[in-house]
A and B are shown apart, each in its own frame.
Chain A
Amino acid sequence: QVQLVESGGGVVQPGSSLRLSCAASGFAFSYSALHWFRQAPGKGLEWVAVISSSGGERFYADSVKGRFTISRDNSKNTVFLQMDSLRDEDTAVYYCARVPNEAGGLNWLDPWGQGSLVTVSS
């Protein structure tokens, strides 16, 4: 079945870096745009970034632009989120999610991964 599994979360200090991975299976990965979202503890959902199926188009939320980089390796069915210059307010569960058709990134998301917790704290 379609599955997304995030990894790479952890506890880091402000100003440091972390790279999240999202391994996909059960669908034609290279045809799907993929997103990262996050959810701070007890808060709602926030869109972070999107990458097109080819990797040629990427968009970011203003809150992470210039600090986070989304990328993908279609040969490994994996999407990444490189997070640099981390701040306390980046603390959240990070989810990857798939666009369930061959349309562009502006779409509904299905499914979502189980999430990876990133804690930024000194």
Chain B
Amino acid sequence: IQLTQSPSALSASVGDSVTISCRASQGVRRLLAWYQQKPGNAPKLLIYDASSLRGGVPSRFSGSGSGADFTLTISSLQPEDFATYYCQQFNSYPITFGQGTRLEIK
């Protein structure tokens, strides 16, 4: 299953709200997760089952969608949110990821 994220890169300012899209080449029900990765660090889970927020993740992160179309929304961007974000499907093997969305400071 191919996952396509858009945009591939995004510039925004502290306090802005941004949305990242993830589209699957076939339906994955709600079996999708979102991760944040900062340079030199491992990915960190943000959202699982399309919209469930991992414990300890700020509530400004939210996920939605089902089937083939999903979104990650970050409201009121904070300086620590500038990173690369990946979606991941776990509907079937091979587990696949989107190509990533790099969120940069404007």
Residue of A nearest to B90 (CB): A106
- Contact count A vs B, C-beta below 8 Å: 56
- A47-B97, A109-B43 known; 13 new pairs, CB 8 Å cut-off, are A44-B98, A45-B86, A47-B96, A50-B95, A95-B42, A95-B43, A106-B31, A108-B88, A110-B54, A112-B43, A112-B44, A113-B42, A114-B42
Contact B45–A61 (Cβ < 8 Å): no
CB pair A109–B99 under 8 Å, yes or no, is no
In the bound complex, what is the Cα–Cα distance between A49 and B95 (angstroms)? Answer: 9
- Dominant secondary structure of chain B at its interface with chain A: loop
Q: Is the CB of A45 within 8 A of B97?
A: yes
Residues of B71-98 whose CB lies within 8 A of A: 86, 88, 90-98
Q: Cβ of B48 < 8 Å from any Cβ of A? A: yes
Q: How far is the CB of B86 from chain A (nearest CB, A)?
A: 6
Name B34's closest neighbour in chain A (CB-CB): A108
Chain B residue nearest in CB terms to A47: B95
Could you tell me the distance between the alpha carbons of A109 and B96 in the complex, rounded to whole angstroms?
12
| B residues apposed to A, CB below 8 Å | 31, 33, 35, 37, 41-45, 48-49, 54, 86, 88, 90-100
The answer to whether residues A44 and B90 also contact, given A106-B31, A111-B44 and a CB cut-off of 8 A, is no
> Which residues on A sit within 8 Å (CB–CB) of B94?
47, 59, 61-62
Contact partner of A108 among B48, B98, B100, CB < 8 A? B48
User: CB-CB < 8 A to A50: which residues of B?
Assistant: 93, 95
Which residues in B have their C-beta under 8 angstroms from that of A110?
A: 45, 48, 54
Q: Give B42 Cβ to nearest chain A Cβ, in Å.
A: 4
CA distance A109 to B97 in the complex (A): 12
What is the CA–CA distance of A70 and B86 in the complex, to the nearest angstrom?
25
Expressed in whole angstroms, the Cα–Cα distance for A35 and B37 within the complex equals 18
A107 at the interface (CB under 8 A from B): yes
A106 to B42, CA, bound (A): 20
Nearest CB to that of B32 among chain A residues? A108
Min C-beta distance of A13 to chain B, whole Å: 26
